[in-house]
Structure 1
Amino acid sequence: MSDLAKTFAKTKLSSLPPPPPLPEEDDDSSSASSMSSTGTVIPSHSLRPAPAIHWSEYFAQEFYLEQQESNGKPRAKYHVYITPPKDVKSPVLVLHHGAGSSGMSFALLAREIRRCMPELGILAVEAREHGSVVYDCQGNIDRDLSVSLLSQDLVSMLHLTAAKLNWAELPTVVLIGHSLGGAVVTHTANTNSLGSKLLGYAVLDVVEGSALEALTHMQTYLASRPKSFQSLPAAVEWHIRSRTLRNPESARASVPSLLLQNSEGRWVWRTELSSTEAYWENWFTGMSGKFLSGRGAKLLVLAGTDRLDKELMIGQMQGKFQLQVFPASGHFLHEDQPDKTAEVIVEFVRRNDRSMLVLPPKVADLLAQGKKV
């Protein structure tokens, strides 16, 4: 939320030209955008979206994975998108979205990763209240969004996917999370629930300090978002023109998955973010310490170096994690610059996956081949 303060401090609003009228919208207390994206709301005048793009352009399969209790009652119905790895030796990237977002926010990133490294598998999951449904022991919908339960859901989706695809065992896994998803993957890495299968984890544009700072402004921010849209193209256009998303193709792919059509034919947010306030501090408190202490290689990708808090600054100087900064991106950096994000992630995987290392030949083998050493 510090980005927003800086924007107002440096900009005289009266000096800006008036923006063109936006599509018909209403005000609301929910949003598809995440906490630190408010500083990116700068009107753009010329972009016009095309129709929405289907998930099959970016992923091989879409699954609704059902989980049952021992008594046969439904426990959960998880929604995921999957492109399987080339073979059992190839890692799988498990992608977790931010608050109010969806698995389709990784659509362009998934395509670019596969273009750079076709053998990788990609599993984009959707959290409860964001496309997946979890039930409590009484059969009611469980809306508890505490980070520990979201982490358990993430691990469950991975194991259910493995069973669905008949994998003999889990492949090597790299966890990647944006915003809230970064808190979830960081917590998961600290639980050691994936054991030796966890190669590493990457966090996209969230750190504890700036996230907690943003919480005091969140309800005001959410109240400024539209309540509904008259059409999906209108919703896509709003995201582009408000600069919430800076990549029109990504907006066309991801925005429709954030909305549901009501009985009046208007499109409303699928996730009511204002109702999740009780969990905001739980998501991010202690995140920096967990990020630094978790097992496996660590990558932090930010849209600005000013978002590093003191604990992470010290960790960076000690070489505990890899840091990459995309200053030209907004908060949704994986949507704004999917090609650059993919390059960084692929290089991270290649550097840390021992199965991909090409070792020099042994001296004995060279001598056996008659070569001088």
Structure 2
Amino acid sequence: MDKMPYSTLPPHIRKLRAGSASGIGGLPPRLSNFRRSNSSGSASSSSGHRPFAIERDYRPSKWSDYFTEKQDIKLDNGDQFRIYLHEDESARKNNLPLLLLLHGGGFSSLTWACFVKSISELCHVRALAIDLRGHGSTKVANENVLNLENFIHDIDRVLLKLFSDDNIPEIILMGHSMGGAIAVHYSERCQQETIAPRIVGLIVIDVVEGTAKDALSHMQQVLRSRPSGFKSIEFAIEWYVRSGQVKNVEAAKISMPGQIKSVDNGTCATDLELTSNQDQCSSISHQISNVPNQFGLSTVSESENVEESNKADSNFTLPLKPKTVQPYVWRINLSETEKYWSEWFNDLSKIFLSSKGGAKMLILAGVDRLDGPMTVGQMQGKFQMQILPKVGHTIQEDDPDSVAHVVAAYLVRHRFSVSSTDFDYPFPSC
């Protein structure tokens, strides 16, 4: 078939073809033609056009942008627990129920930062986030002994240190992953006479007994596929985003420092003052090779450049050269806690369904997370379930606004709080 004469093409196609041929207008130039902007802000391309800069700021954020108070709770035995608080004047004056936030394994209480900021804009709320033992900025004896008994005892001690026996507020337990399992067990096993009757709500994020136990057999391989260290805090934050561990850059900038520590002194990166050299590492370039490592993941060279992508690369990981000491490593070695994993999730569905700890809600990243007992319980209306799309396991970091809307609606519906603005109430998932 003969080609269609140029003059018979539709006007918009003629314009597009002409623009493409002349290099003016028409189709946009390829991204590969661009070079990264230099320090003066100038940039160039093979076509002579000024490109858009593709850079991100990976400097860590401050806790004070999300919480109203930070405390280190020192107990009589020398243990010290880091907590972050948020409460507005109305919530404090009216003694509203306390949203007690428990993070997942390997995280810190700063995983809740973006969620707390979002929900505080929707309703009056009191929120308390705790760095559990072995995590974040908390310092305790035997910090690697992560059995349920210790977790429950720790929560009791922190609450009794913060509040007098006659002033303990009503409590809504809210936990993610490991923290969700702890919240469920705490609602059943708390023996403190001044605390147990005050538990009025239970919110669990993306943890169900059946699917959690199924995943345990693969957990060691997942942990081994992570880099063992990082050359800077900013590089750790960038890895957190580009590896696909989290979809939200803002959440990564506040959460990731709580997951790593300095090799020199063991201090959690959250508590380190950044040097001028670190501040210069706001955007780091990498070359992703096609050579997989022993876990099937591609490696990244820190010394080469490539255009950055706005999408997370699930194959992104760090090269660890032999005999190279990275200045930052993971705050906790999760691989060594394997002996406690089964205990965290044993009888989780049964306890959650039979819990008398008030109004219950389960927030999931997908309906496929449900196991048999929880599916039956949901059909019987024993708890509210909410499915959030396009998120990963760390739901409160990937989409803090949606989680905030769901929880704010829960709080207002059950009269645990009062809305401070009009917002749409999410319809519960079926």
Match of 1:60 among 44, 53, 68: 68
Q: Partner of 2:175: helix, strand, or coil?
A: strand
Residue 96 (structure 2) pairs with residue 90 (structure 1): yes
| Residue 213 (structure 2) aligns with | 212
**Separation (CA, whole Å) in 2 of partners of 1:328 and 1:64:** 36
Aligned counterpart, 2:59: 51
Correspondent of 2:380 among 318, 322, 340: 318
User: More relative contact order in 1 or in 2 (CA 8 Å, sep 6+)?
Assistant: 1
1:179 maps to a residue whose letter is: S
Paired residues of 1:201 and 1:297 also in contact (CA < 8 A) = yes
Provide the C-alpha distance between the structure 2 equivalents of 1:98 and 1:65, rounded to a whole number of angstroms: 20
Structure 1 equivalent of residue 17 of structure 2:
none
The residue type equivalent to 1:50 in the other structure is Y
Could you give the per-residue CA deviations for residues 290-330 of structure 1, whole angstroms, max 9, x where no partner exists? 11111111000000000100000010011000000012100
**1:38-187 equivalence runs, <5 A:** 48-68=56-76, 74-84=77-87, 85-117=91-123, 119-131=124-136, 132-135=138-141, 141-162=142-163, 169-187=167-185
Instruction: Say if 2:365 is the partner of 1:303.
Output: yes
Output the CA distance in 2 between the equivalents of 1:98 and 1:342: 18
For the residues of structure 1 that align with 2:225 and 2:374, how far apart are their CA atoms? 31
Structure 1 letter corresponding to 2:139: V
Question: How far is 1:86 from its partner?
Answer: 2.5
CA separation of 1:355/1:258 partners in 2, compared to 1, >3 Å: closer, same or farther?
closer
Aligned residue number for residue 189 of structure 1: 187
Query: Which residue of 278, 284, 292 corresponds with 2:345?
Result: 284
| Matched position secondary structure for 1:90 | coil
> C-alpha distance in 2, partners of 1:102/1:48?
24
How far did residue 174 of structure 1 move?
0.7
Are the equivalent residues in 2 in contact too, given 1:88–1:171 (CA < 8 A)? no
Compute the displacement of 1:143 (Å).
2.8
Alignment deviations for residues 232-289 of structure 1 (CA, whole Å, 9 cap, x no partner) = 1111111111110000000001101111121366111001100101100011111111
Moved more, 254-263 or 121-130: 254-263
Task: Quote the Cα distance in structure 2 between the aligned partners of 1:88 and 1:209.
Answer: 40
Q: CA deviation at 1:134?
A: 2.9
CA change 1:96–1:354 in 2 (3 A) is closer
Residues 125-161 of structure 1: CA distance to partner in whole angstroms, max 9, x if unpaired? 01110032333xxxxx353211232122123222222
Cα deviation for residue 50 of structure 1 reads 2.9
Distance 1:353 1:189, change over 3 A: farther
Equivalent-residue separation in structure 2 for 1:354 and 1:253 (angstroms): 28
Q: Percent identity?
A: 36
Q: Is residue 199–residue 352 contact of structure 1 (8 Å, CA) maintained in 2?
A: no
Return the index of the structure with the highest Cα Rg.
Answer: 2
Query: How far off is 1:102 after superposition?
Result: 0.3
Cα shift at 1:356: 6.2
Is 2:306 aligned against 1:244?
no
Q: Assess if the C-alpha contact under 8 Å between 2:178 and 2:344 holds in 1.
A: yes
In 2, Cα distance between the equivalents of 1:213 and 1:127? 25
Q: Could you give the per-residue CA deviations for residues 170-199 of structure 1, whole angstroms, max 9, x where no partner exists?
A: 111111000000000001111254333111
Contact 1:49 1:236 survives alignment (8 Å): no
Structure 2 CA distance, aligned partners of 1:142 and 1:248? 30
2:389 counterpart letter in structure 1: P
2:409 pairs, out of 319, 343, 347, with: 347
Q: Structure 2: give runs of 5+ residues left out of the alignment.
A: 1-53, 265-324, 420-430
Q: Please tell me whether residue 201 in structure 1 is matched to residue 202 in structure 2.
A: yes
Give the helix-richer structure, 1 or 2: 1
- The residue identity in structure 2 corresponding to 1:252 is K
Distance change (3 Å), C-alpha of 1:354 and 1:227:
closer
TM-score norm. by structure 1 comes to 0.76
Identify the residue that residue 21 of structure 1 maps to in structure 2: none
SS at match of 2:392: coil
TM-score by structure 2 length?
0.66
User: What secondary structure does 1:101 align onto?
Assistant: coil
Partner-residue secondary structure (3-state), 2:335: helix
Q: Could you tell me whether the CA contact under 8 Å between 2:172 and 2:200 is conserved in 1?
A: yes
1:176–1:203 contact (8 Å) kept in structure 2: yes
Aligned to 2:257: 256
Take 2:109 and 2:258, find their aligned partners in 1: how far apart are those partners? 8
- In structure 1, give the amino acid aligned to 2:231: Q
Question: Which letter does structure 1 place at the counterpart of 2:336?
Answer: S
Matched, 1:231 2:293: no
**Which one is further off, 296-305 or 153-162?**
153-162
Q: Distance in 2 between matches of 1:173 and 1:201?
A: 9
Partner-residue secondary structure (3-state), 2:61: coil
Instruction: State the alpha-carbon separation in 2 of the partners of residues 346 and 162 from structure 1.
Output: 24
Question: Residues 88 and 262 (structure 1 numbering): CA distance in 2 closer, same or farther, change over 3 Å?
Answer: same
Structure 1 residue matching 2:363: 3-state secondary structure = strand
Aligned alpha-carbon RMSD (Å): 1.9
Where do 5+ consecutive residues of structure 1 fail to align? Answer: 1-45, 69-73, 136-140, 358-373
Range with greater deviation from structure 2 (121-130 or 344-353): 344-353
SS of aligned partner of 1:225: coil
